[in-house]
């Protein structure tokens, strides 16, 4: 089917495209997909909107990188440390936060993430504090005597990223089509009703969080290894948490492909804006003369304005596309093809929010 | 159990979603293709240099100095026949973004060399990439010592590293008096921590007792409690490392609390801006170490300051001078070597220059690689103006010590 | 002992500012259940407004409050009507994201217009101190504390004694019941957001003589404002006042006796404890 074509194309890409920048964009894309999909499990399916997911991301990154940098533990073993740490933390955070609902849960999740960030920031002997950890080198990966990769080019990261993104997609699919997913969504739709039907809220909410935390931590590990530098604001900050939520929301939460769409929108957009490619495109297309006043203004300011446009985009999506871009595209396609019978799955954006 | 119709509907939706995704992917590939297809290398006529700077973000006010310094360099270079094609990248003060920018400059834009970044954190992160991609990198103003202590052949630094910031301040102060105790207040970033660490080492060497060690998170507006704590310990010296905002706030609140040491030592950055100096109530008699000042005897220094002031309406900080000199050196070398990265590296390693930053030569010594042995100055703010007071060969006026109080 | 008193005193003064920010937020939160992540940015706009008035008209920041308050109120009302209103019934997550987006838009617009240069308001008394019981206190902070108290008192009177004020409280207590009682709840929302914005802006104005003005200054205040609101009790003005002072003092003491880098940790831990054990806060109604 179509899936295999896309998969084949993705797998073959590094052979055809060798420009490191293009590969870099794809890797960022995979990372964004993984982060969004991981958040989707607890936020989209289970309806628990944690805006403190950076806690798992950062803990994953720090655990593995600290083991690598200070104890020379190769990352393929170190990643287990990250997973263990993330799971432990998710249990603790879950036990604190899941007693709360709605906006209170959100605030608590943010507070917890901030506490972790501040602790990591101040625990200098352990984590090198504000200076962060700048990776020296990743040891080459060998199977027996054959060298698989020495991590010096982008290609191994590309495949690793692809694998990560695909596995999060797979997990999303499995969860959605399992009993677990059923319970999650029941909790999302109406927590009390679910409880009265005998669903163990604590267990399932924590299960959702644990799965989500695990994959978020893996994304953190991948980020740390790929970028080679982590510091508390970079991996434990509110910005990171918000970005994860954004990827999911803009794409369309509670769906498998939503975060993919979200990633496809956000990653190229932020690179294009930041690197001034948009202004260049306008000049090349002849829409704006480079030397005109408008052209100069754009050249000088559009790069700074990437965050502004980000913000505007968020506002627009929230106001006019509550199902995210995916939902919007679906409605558009639906109208153009044939009228759909009402879906059996309730559309998330239509319900009144919990009060 | 799902009905056949439902399954069909689901499959249909799935298919349609895939179409959507495929379209998006095509768009993305198209973008990448565009990125690859756009002609990337054109060494022949223009000299293509990348600049990574903090244009937005908390360090932006100082970043502006670097931008303007480079713009002046651009003017001067074009006068001597070198047409500069600059690719500006904003790292917003974040190392990850600086790294991303460096990747782009090195692999997509095919620059001959890179000048920047500004902050220590970004510079350190980018140095690694410069070495990996083999692109000559000239760091103009970042203090963290490690940047040129990693044996990277492709990384050069113009300014003196953090230990000199501290060293020159201590040398100046111990010449003026015999302080016995010191308190450190610094922001807990790369820059603050590395400069403070250098300061602590030096204090110990000089036999000055460290009575307080207070890192703070930058951006939080209230330091009164920290300063109160320090006041109670009665230190004879207070050593601060901050960027712009916090420097002014710290001093204001120090005044409020009535903190009165024998001297305030400001480790660079925030304490070297005219904004800080002009607030006479709080800046008077603060010592600060700097890479450059407009009254120093290096060729062209005073004219540079005048020109900067005339064009941009404000006084330049040392960052402007550092950036100017760095760009002049990089562009000149790149032009002479016709944009060949390896040759540029070689020329930088073996060359020497003289300009508004004095004598510049990148040397290997004491564990440093390609580090310019730049002498730093100690300035004191007297009545709203920066005055060079140390070392003797650059001193313009005598330092006023001890601090006469608020 | 001096250190304790000094730091407690500065904590109380700072707490006054926090309180004002918190009161604004509690009114918004209480009436609309909207998590306004842009609250810090509203404060920032108040600061810039004050700076503009000061640098172009030369009016003292404490005096220009009379101009700032109505302007911020109108601004808040407009924001409510055009943006917030549309997500009142949406998921909290959407509301949060909308306000986060709004915050980003505001701070970056300001950055484009005013550049990210730090702005100073330097008045005659910016660095001066008054002495109370032998403790030096920052003059501008002391004045802002006084003004805050006056405004809080006036607000409290407004909410308790006037019809509109009581209508707002009713809406905060139970939106549907209030509507059934004939209260125009959407107008109440507009009022609430307007008042909240005005208060945030005022806090910004009051604080501008002592802090620095730059586009990102708001983020330091936003989360803290939420802590204050929850601590004091959602919907309770007096609670927010108390909460502000408590947080100010906690932060101050933690900075002195533990470490300034960790002072926020104490605030957040306190926050979590309150959420877990007394979610209604000190003075609020019980609502999870």
Q: Report whether A79 contacts A220 (CB < 8 A).
A: no
| Pair (B127, B168) in one structural domain | no
pLDDT of A323 > 80? The answer is no
The answer for residues whose C-beta is within 8 angstroms of residue A193's C-beta and 6 or more apart is A186
Q: Burial of C6 by CB count in 10 Å (0-12 exposed, 13-18 middle, 19+ buried)?
A: buried
CA A121: distance to chain centroid?
23
- Asked if A311's CB is within 8 angstroms of C105's CB, the reply is yes
DSSP A343: P
Are residues B148 and B227 located together in one domain of the fold?
A: no
Chains with ≥3 Cβ pairs under 8 A against A? Answer: B, C
Would you say residue B8 lies in a domain?
no
Q: What is the mean pLDDT of residues A56-80?
A: 91
Mean per-residue pLDDT for A258-277?
A: 80
Chain C hits for B187, Cβ within 8 Å = none
Identify the DSSP state of B207. T
Token pair in block for residue C247: 């947080």
| In-domain check, residue A110 | yes
Inside any domain, residue B402: no
Contact (CB<8Å) C118/B275? yes
Strongest mean pLDDT among B31-40, B117-126, B245-254: B117-126
Within-domain flag for A30 = yes
Per-residue pLDDT at A239: 80
Judge whether B240 lies within some domain.
yes
| pLDDT of A347 strictly over 80 | no
Non-local CB neighbours of B395 within 8 Å, separated by 6+ positions: B388, B389
| C-alpha to C-alpha distance for A340 and A331, rounded to whole angstroms | 10
pLDDT above 90 (res C4): no
Total number of domains constituting chain B: 2
Mutate to test the interface with B, among A24, A29, A115, A131 (most CBs of B within 10 A): A131
Classify B377 as helix, strand or coil. Answer: strand
Reported as a single tens digit per residue, the pLDDT across C37-68 is 899 999 999 999 999 999 898 888 888 999 99
Angle between helical axes of C185-207 and C2-32 (0-180°, round to 10): 160
Clarify whether residues B185 and B263 are in a common domain: yes
Using the predicted structure, report yes or no on whether residue A327 has a pLDDT greater than 90: no
How many alpha carbons fall within 13 Å on the CB side of residue B43?
13
Q: Which of A99, A103, A318 sits opposite C87 (nearest CB)?
A: A318
Tokens found for residue A314: 């968020």
Which residues have CB under 8 Å from A4's CB, separation 6+?
Answer: none
Q: Establish if B306 belongs to a structural domain.
A: yes
Give the residue extent of every domain in chain C: 2-117+136-277
Task: Verify that B118 and B197 share a domain, yes or no.
Answer: no
- What would the pLDDT profile of C178-215 be if each residue is shown by its tens digit? 889 999 988 999 999 999 999 999 999 988 887 778 88
Residue A298 CA to residue C122 CA, distance in Å, equals 34
Question: CB count, 10 Å around CB of A29?
Answer: 22
**Does residue A269 sit in helix, strand or coil?**
helix
User: How many residues are recorded in chain A?
Assistant: 355
DSSP letters for chain C: -HHHHHHHHHHHHHHHHHHHHHHHHHHHHHHH----TTHHHHHHHHHHHHHHHHHHH---TTTTHHHHHHHHHHHHHHHHHHTGGGGTTS-HHHHHHHHHHHHHHHHHHHHHHH-S--B----TTTT-EEEETTEEEEHHHHHHHHHHHHHHHHHHHHHHHSHHHHHHHHHHH-HHHHHHTT--HHHHHHHHHHHHHHHHHHHHHHHTTTS-B-GGGGHHHHHHHHHHHHHH-TT-HHHHHHHHHHHHHHHHHHHHHT-GGGHHHHHHHHHHHHHHH-TTTTTS----
Residue B1 scores a pLDDT above 50: no
* The pLDDT of residue C286: 40
Please tell me which of the candidates C7, C214, C220 has its beta carbon nearest to residue B228: C7
My answer on whether B144 and B50 are in the same domain is yes
What is the domain extent for residue A26?
18-237
The residue written with tokens 């080679």 in the block is A228
The verdict on C113 touching A (C-beta cutoff 8 Å) is no
Answer with the residue of higher pLDDT: A287 or A94.
Answer: A94
Q: What is the pLDDT of residues C114-173, one digit of tens each?
A: 876 677 777 777 767 788 777 778 888 888 889 988 998 898 899 889 999 899 888 888
B121, B130, B186: which to substitute to probe chain A, counting the most A Cβ within 10 Å?
B121
Q: At what angle do helices A2-16 and A155-176 cross, to 10 degrees?
A: 160
Q: From C212, which residue of chain B is nearest by alpha-carbon distance?
A: B245
pTM across the whole model: 0.82
The reply to whether residue B16 touches residue A333, judged by beta carbons under 8 angstroms, is yes
**Which residue, among C25, C9, A229, has the nearest Cα to B190 in the 3D structure?**
A229
The number of folded domains in chain A is 1
CA atoms of A56 and A76, how far apart (whole Å):
18
CB contact under 8 A, A118 and C265: yes
Q: Does B97 touch chain A (CB under 8 A)?
A: yes
Chain A: closest CA distance from residue B388 (Å): 32
Residues of A in contact with C104 (CB under 8 A): 307-308, 310-311, 314
Q: How far apart are CA B253 and CA C101, in angstroms?
A: 34
Give residue A30's pLDDT.
Answer: 95
Strands B287-290 and B263-266: parallel
Contacts of A247 in chain C (CB under 8 A): none
As a residue count, chain C comes to 288
pLDDT of B2 above 60: no
Q: Chain A neighbours among C 242-271 (CB < 8 Å)?
A: 259, 261-262, 264-265, 268-269, 271
Q: Do B125 and B178 reside in the same domain of the chain?
A: no
Omega prior to B402 cis, within 30 of 0:
yes
Residues of chain C with a CB closer than 8 angstroms to some CB in chain B: 2-3, 6-7, 10-11, 14, 111, 115-118, 120, 122, 126-127, 129, 136-138, 210-212, 214, 216-217, 219-220, 251-253, 255-256, 259-261, 263-264
Q: Identify the closest residue of chain C to B232 by CA–CA distance.
A: C3
Choose the closest CB to C136 out of B215, B219, B256: B256
**C87–A100 C-beta distance less than 8 A:** no
| Topology classification of domain C2-117+136-277 | ABC transporter involved in vitamin B12 uptake, BtuC (1.10.3470)
Q: At B89, which CATH number?
A: 3.40.50.2300
ipTM: 0.84
Same domain for B197 and B97, yes or no, is: no
Calculate mean pLDDT across residues A257-272. 85
Q: CA-CA distances (angstroms) from residue C75 to B203, C37, C59, C69, C72? A: 53, 16, 21, 10, 5
Asked if residue C89 has pLDDT above 90, the reply is: no
**Structural domain includes residue A294:** no
Same domain, B268 and B325: no
B92-102 in b/e form (b: 16+ CB < 10 A) is bbbbbbbbbbb
Give residue A295's pLDDT band: very low, low, confident or very high (50, 70, 90): low
Chain A within 8 Å of C1 (Cβ-Cβ)? no
* Backbone φ, ψ for residue B114 (5° rounding): -130, 140
Domain that holds residue B351: 40-160+300-372
Question: How many Å lie between the alpha carbon of B382 and the closest alpha carbon of chain C?
Answer: 18
Q: Do B228 and C118 touch (CB under 8 A)?
A: no
Of A323-327, B44-48, B80-84, which range is least confident? B44-48
């Amino acid at each position: 089917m179509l899936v295999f074509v896309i998969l084949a194309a993705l797998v073959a890409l590094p052979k055809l495209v060798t420009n490191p920048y293009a590969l870099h964009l794809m890797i960022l894309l995979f990372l964004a997909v993984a982060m969004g999909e991981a958040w989707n499990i607890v936020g989209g399916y289970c309806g628990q909107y944690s805006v403190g997911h950076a806690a798992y991301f950062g803990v994953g990154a720090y655990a593995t990188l600290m083991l690598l940098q200070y104890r020379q533990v190769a990352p393929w073993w170190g990643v287990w440390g990250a997973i263990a740490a993330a799971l432990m933390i998710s249990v603790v955070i879950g036990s604190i936060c899941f007693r709360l609902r709605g906006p209170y849960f959100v605030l608590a999740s943010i507070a917890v993430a901030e506490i972790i960030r501040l602790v990591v920031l101040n625990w200098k002997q352990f984590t090198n504090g504000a200076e962060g950890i700048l990776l020296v080198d990743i040891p080459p990966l060998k199977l027996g005597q054959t060298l698989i990769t020495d991590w010096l080019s982008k290609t191994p990261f590309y495949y690793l990223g692809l694998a990560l993104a695909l596995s999060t997609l797979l997990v999303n699919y499995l969860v959605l089509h399992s009993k677990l997913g059923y319970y999650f969504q029941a909790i999302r739709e109406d927590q009390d009703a679910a409880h009265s039907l005998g669903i163990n809220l604590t267990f399932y909410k924590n299960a959702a969080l644990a799965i989500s935390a695990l994959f978020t931590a893996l994304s953190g590990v991948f980020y740390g290894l790929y970028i080679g530098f982590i510091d508390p604001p970079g991996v434990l900050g509110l910005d990171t948490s918000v970005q994860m939520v954004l990827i999911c929301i803009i794409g369309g939460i509670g769906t498998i492909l939503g975060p993919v769409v979200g990633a496809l929108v956000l990653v190229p957009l932020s690179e294009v804006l930041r690197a001034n490619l948009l202004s260049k495109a306008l000049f090349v297309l002849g829409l704006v003369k480079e030397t005109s006043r408008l052209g100069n203004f754009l050249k000088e300011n559009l790069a700074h304005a990437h965050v502004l446009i980000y913000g505007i985009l968020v506002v627009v999506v929230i106001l006019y596309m509550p199902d995210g871009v995916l939902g919007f595209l679906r409605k558009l396609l639906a109208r153009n093809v044939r009228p759909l019978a009402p879906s059996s799955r309730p559309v998330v954006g239509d319900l009144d929010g919990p009060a | 159990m799902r009905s056949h119709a439902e399954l069909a509907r689901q499959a249909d939706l799935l298919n349609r979603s895939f179409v959507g995704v495929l379209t998006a992917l095509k768009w993305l590939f198209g973008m990448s293709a565009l990125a690859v297809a756009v002609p990337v290398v054109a060494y022949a006529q223009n000299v293509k240099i990348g600049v990574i700077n903090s244009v937005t973000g908390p360090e932006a006010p100082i970043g502006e100095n670097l931008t303007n310094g480079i713009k002046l360099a651009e003017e001067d270079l074009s006068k001597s026949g070198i047409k500069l094609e600059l690719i500006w990248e904003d790292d917003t003060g974040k190392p990850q973004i600086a790294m991303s920018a460096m990747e782009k400059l090195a692999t997509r834009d095919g620059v001959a060399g890179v000048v920047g970044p500004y902050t220590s954190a970004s510079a350190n992160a980018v140095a690694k990439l410069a070495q990996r991609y083999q692109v000559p990198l000239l760091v103009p103003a970042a203090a963290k010592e490690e940047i040129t202590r990693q044996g990277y052949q492709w990384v050069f630094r113009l300014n003196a590293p953090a230990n000199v910031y501290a060293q020159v301040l201590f040398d100046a102060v111990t010449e003026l008096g015999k302080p016995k105790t010191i308190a450190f207040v610094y922001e807990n970033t790369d820059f603050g921590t590395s400069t403070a660490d250098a300061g602590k080492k030096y204090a110990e060497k000089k036999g000055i007792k460290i009575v307080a060690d207070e890192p703070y998170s930058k951006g939080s507006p209230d330091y009164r409690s920290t300063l109160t704590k320090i006041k109670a310990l009665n230190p004879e010296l207070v050593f601060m490392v901050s960027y712009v905002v916090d420097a002014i706030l710290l001093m204001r609140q120090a005044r409020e609390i009535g903190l009165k040491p024998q001297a305030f030592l400001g480790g660079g950055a925030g304490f070297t801006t005219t904004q800080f100096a002009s607030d006479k109530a709080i800046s008077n008699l603060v010592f600060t170490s700097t890479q450059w000042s407009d009254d120093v005897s290096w060729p062209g220094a005073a004219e540079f300051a005048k020109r900067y002031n005339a064009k941009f309406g404000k006084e330049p900080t040392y960052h402007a001078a550092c950036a100017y000199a760095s760009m002049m050196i990089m562009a000149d070398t790149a032009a002479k070597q016709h944009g060949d990265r390896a040759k540029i590296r070689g020329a930088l390693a073996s060359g020497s220059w003289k300009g508004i930053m004095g004598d510049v030569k990148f040397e290997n010594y004491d564990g440093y690689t390609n580090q310019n042995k730049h002498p730093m100055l100690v300035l004191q703010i007297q009545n709203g103006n920066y005055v060079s007071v140390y070392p003797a060969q650059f001193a313009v006026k005598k330092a006023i010590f001890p601090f006469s109080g608020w | 002992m001096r250190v304790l008193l000094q730091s407690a005193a500065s904590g109380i003064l700072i707490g006054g500012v926090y309180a004002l920010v918190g009161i604004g937020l509690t009114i918004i939160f209480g009436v609309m259940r909207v998590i306004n992540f842009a609250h810090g940015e509203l404060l920032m706009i108040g600061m810039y407004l004050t700076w503009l008035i000061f640098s172009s008209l030369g009016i003292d920041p404490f005096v220009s409050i009379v101009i700032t308050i109505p302007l911020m109120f109108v601004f808040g009302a407009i924001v409510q009507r055009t943006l917030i209103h549309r997500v009142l019934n949406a998921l909290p997550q959407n509301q949060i994201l909308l306000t986060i987006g709004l915050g980003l838009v505001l701070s970056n617009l300001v950055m484009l217009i005013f550049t990210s240069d730090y702005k100073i308001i330097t008045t005659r008394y910016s660095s001066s101190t008054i002495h109370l019981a032998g403790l030096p206190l920052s003059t501008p902070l002391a004045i802002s504390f006084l003004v805050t108290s006056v405004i809080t008192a006036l607000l409290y009177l407004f909410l308790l004694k006037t019809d509109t004020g009581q209508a707002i409280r009713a809406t905060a207590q139970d939106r549907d019941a209030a509507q059934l009682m004939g209260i125009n709840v959407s107008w109440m929302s507009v009022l609430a957001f307007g008042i909240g914005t005005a208060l945030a802006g005022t806090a910004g104005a009051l604080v501008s003589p002592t802090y620095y003005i730059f586009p990102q200054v708001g983020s330091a205040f936003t989360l803290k404002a939420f802590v204050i609101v929850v601590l004091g009790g959602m919907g309770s003005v007096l609670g927010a006042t108390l909460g502000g002072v408590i947080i100010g003092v906690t932060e101050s003491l933690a900075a002195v006796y533990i470490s300034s880098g960790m002072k926020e940790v104490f605030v957040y831990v306190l926050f979590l404890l309150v959420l877990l054990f007394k979610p209604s806060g000190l003075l609020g109604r019980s609502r999870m």
